[in-house]
Amino acid sequence: MTTPDSVVSIEHVDLVRSGRYLLSDISLRIERGQHWVLLGANGAGKSTMLSMLGAVAHPTRGTVRVLGHQLGRVDMRELRAHIGHVNPRYRIDAPLAVRDVVLTGLTNTPDFVPRWSPSAEQIARADELIASLGMQKHSDALWPNLSQGERGRALIARALMAEPQLLLLDEPATGLDLAAREQLLTALDELRERYPSLASILVTHHLEEIPTTTTHAVLIRDGRVIAQGDVADVLTTATISECFDHPIEIHRQRGRWIAQTRVPEPVG
């Protein structure tokens, strides 16, 4: 059921490729201001689901509505312009400065479009986003000279440049060391407080990479949702162990999650 505040509505969706079910009977609704984490093992279907949420792939059966538009009945390219997508593997070959990389979020291209130049207001917004993600000292730094963590925060600023209503974060902590990961998670928490109506979905298979501001969780295994809802209700030792098919014990400390193999109690 779609509501006026629904950013994403997925109803009984299957996605089949070459006779194989990549997703099966998926239903999910995400409202404005909610911040979801999508968890699952490698190959569980996380990237496939994200491709639908990002208006890249169509379902084989069922209904997917993103920002009020039903996939299959909307210009997908136009819809993608209103979705911020952060992929740390996004390739930028041109030696652009951070400010210029952020500005390309307006054109959704890896470099400036010929005969296009940003307005003074757009440049000011880019600088504001860069500062909000703790990157103001790097505004003029060239992309090849940035660390992986700095690139990740710059890509988040880039994704926000077009003022999206939905932000998709595809394993944003990939390749980060401990300090860079913590800086990224702090930036995400601050970002969510600054934009209260923004909805976001973060994909990961590491519980330690879940920001404290996460409100909801969905667990996927073998293309099927096995649990979804409020994050505190979904992320339990039992559900995580089922999701990853391994005995995992989880704890929460100061809003962050810790996971480790559950050791059986000694007998006798």
Q: What is the largest CA-CA distance in the chain?
A: 77
Taking 80 as the threshold, does the pLDDT of residue 263 lie above it? no
pLDDT at 122: 93
Q: Are 88 and 154 in contact (CB under 8 A)?
A: no
Neighbour tally for 146: CB within 10 Å: 18
Structure tokens at 129: 């986003």
pLDDT at 120: 93
Question: Mind listing the pLDDT tens digit for each residue in 129-149?
Answer: 999 888 889 999 999 999 888
What is the arithmetic mean of pLDDT over 187-200?
Answer: 92
- Residue 75: what are its φ and ψ, rounded to 5°? -70, 110
Which is nearest to 164 in space by CA: 4, 55, 51, 14?
Answer: 55
Question: Mind listing the pLDDT tens digit for each residue in 27-80?
Answer: 999 999 999 999 999 989 998 999 999 888 889 999 999 999 999 888 888 888
Spatial separation of the C-alpha atoms in residues 257 and 212, rounded to whole Å: 9
pLDDT at 80: 87
pLDDT at 2: 52
pLDDT at 94: 82
Spatial separation of the C-alpha atoms in residues 96 and 144, rounded to whole Å: 8
Taking 90 as the threshold, does the pLDDT of residue 1 lie above it? no
Q: Are 96 and 142 in contact (CB under 8 A)?
A: yes
Taking 80 as the threshold, does the pLDDT of residue 191 lie above it? yes
Taking 90 as the threshold, does the pLDDT of residue 220 lie above it? yes
Amino acid at site 6: S
Question: Mind listing the pLDDT tens digit for each residue in 11-35?
Answer: 999 999 998 999 999 999 999 999 9
pLDDT at 39: 96
pLDDT at 268: 56
How many residues can be counted in the chain? 268
pLDDT at 3: 57
Write down the domain spans for the chain: 87-163
What contacts 24+ positions apart, CB below 8 Å, involve 191-195? 191/132, 191/133, 191/156, 191/160, 192/35, 194/132, 195/160
Which is nearest to 152 in space by CA: 208, 92, 199?
Answer: 92
pLDDT-based confidence at residue 84 (cuts at 50, 70, 90): very high
- Mapping DSSP onto H, E and C, the string for 122-158 reads HHHHHHHHHHHCCCHHHCCCEHHHCCHHHHHHHHHHH
Check the CA dihedral 91-204-162-68 and report its sign: positive
pLDDT-based confidence at residue 81 (cuts at 50, 70, 90): confident
The mean-pLDDT minimum among 32-36, 178-182, 260-264 falls in 260-264
